[in-house]
Homo-oligomer: A and B are copies of this chain.
Amino acid sequence: MRDVSVIGVGMSKFGKLEGKGIREIGEEACWNAIKDAGIGLRDVQAAYCGSALTGLASGQDCINGQIVLRQVGITGIPVTNVGNICASSSCAFREAWMAVALGLYDTAIALGVEKQTAIPTLKLLERYMAAMDRELEGNLGLSMPAWFAMIANRHMQKFGTTSEQLAKVSVKNHKNGTKNPYAHFQKEITVDDVLNSRMVAYPLRLFDCCPISDGAAAAILTTKESARKLTDTPIHVVASSQTSGSYAEDSDITTCDLDVRASRRAYKMAGVKPKDLDFAEVHDCFTIAEILHYEDLGFCQKGEGGKLIDEGQTEIGGNIPINPSGGLISRGHPNSATGIAQICEIVWQLRGEAGKRQIDNAETALTHTVGGFMHADMCSSAIHIFRK
């Protein structure tokens, strides 16, 4: 297995990008990544693209990677579209990593692109029921906010987690987002703002939820050997891990077993422990999700996620900063683009290019996305660990 490194990353602005389709949004991210890598279009030998929900939202499906790359000017290479809902581009990145590690290609691009805001939100959410098992969860009407609300209620009842602690996750991520020019939201909020925002599904309020965004992100991967020739700041992929959930009779909705399994495998592969990480980008689709991930990824004991945010340990400057980019809650969540947007943040931070949100002396970091119902087998967790 060859060692693989990231030599270039790029994003589009995340947000409601009116008048732009996947062609324009994706092109911007790809060009930014290619320019960042300092390579030519002909150096890109293969592509993997996540774009799971654009088909449901806009009716453009199946060949979204090809459409974006045609616009960039890259043709005649293998392009594979990968769909695992919110984990789509993390999984696309993993396939690109595999292909380079195996020696099929020396240089590949992984991208995620999503155009979701072209149709009204309620219509969009109805269509998104396609992304869960319609005959089971779908027919129960179990939407994502409803499911995470149930998790939050149980976490509060079992561990004493409070609405204020949830709110602090949103406040932290909004604050980080103001320092990220690509973020959907660029405004600081207070705990009171969160607690007074509209109720979505008790106890989750509007500011406990990530937005629906448009956006794209891309990364260029090559061998560690080539990377050292091409750049002074290669970022090495030291672990890639993916799994799906499973049912267990004694399962507990306050634990994501697939995150536990996927992260332990990643730590083993990288030869690190959670305490060795300098920061992480995790899948904060709802504030309670970030609390759960603190625990399941091993940054604190189970039930102590609320305490971790209370102590400020996950702030930039804290012991284990989480989502310095602003995360899904503030950077925004153009579904399939999120996984590689996390990787962009890791690369910028490890290179020391993260501007006002820079974490000092960061050397090792983790990305984590999860797509689908976290507690059923209908989901995927994809975790990568990077080192400079």
Contact = CB atoms under 8 A, between A and B. Distances in A.
Contacts of A59: 127, 129-130, 134
A45 to B, nearest CB: 10
Number of copies of this kind of chain in the complex: 2
A76 B130 contact: no
B102 A62 contact: no
B135 A78 contact: no
A377 B66 contact: yes
Contact of A80 (B69, B70, B84, B379): B84
A83 interface: yes
Contacts of A127: 59
A377 B130 contact: no
Contacts of A191: none
B247 A60 contact: no
Interface in A97-114: 98-99, 101-104
A301 interface: no
A161 B15 CA distance: 54
Contact of A133 (B63, B91, B130, B131): B63
Interface of A: 1, 21, 23, 52-53, 55-56, 59-63, 66-67, 69-70, 75-85, 91, 95, 98-99, 101-104, 127, 129-135, 242-247, 258, 261, 371-372, 377-380
27 contacts: A23-B135, A55-B130, A56-B61, A59-B129, A60-B130, A60-B134, A61-B83, A62-B371, A62-B372, A63-B84, A63-B132, A63-B372, A63-B378, A66-B379, A67-B378, A69-B377, A75-B244, A75-B246, A75-B247, A76-B243, A76-B245, A76-B246, A76-B258, A77-B243, A79-B244, A80-B82, A80-B242
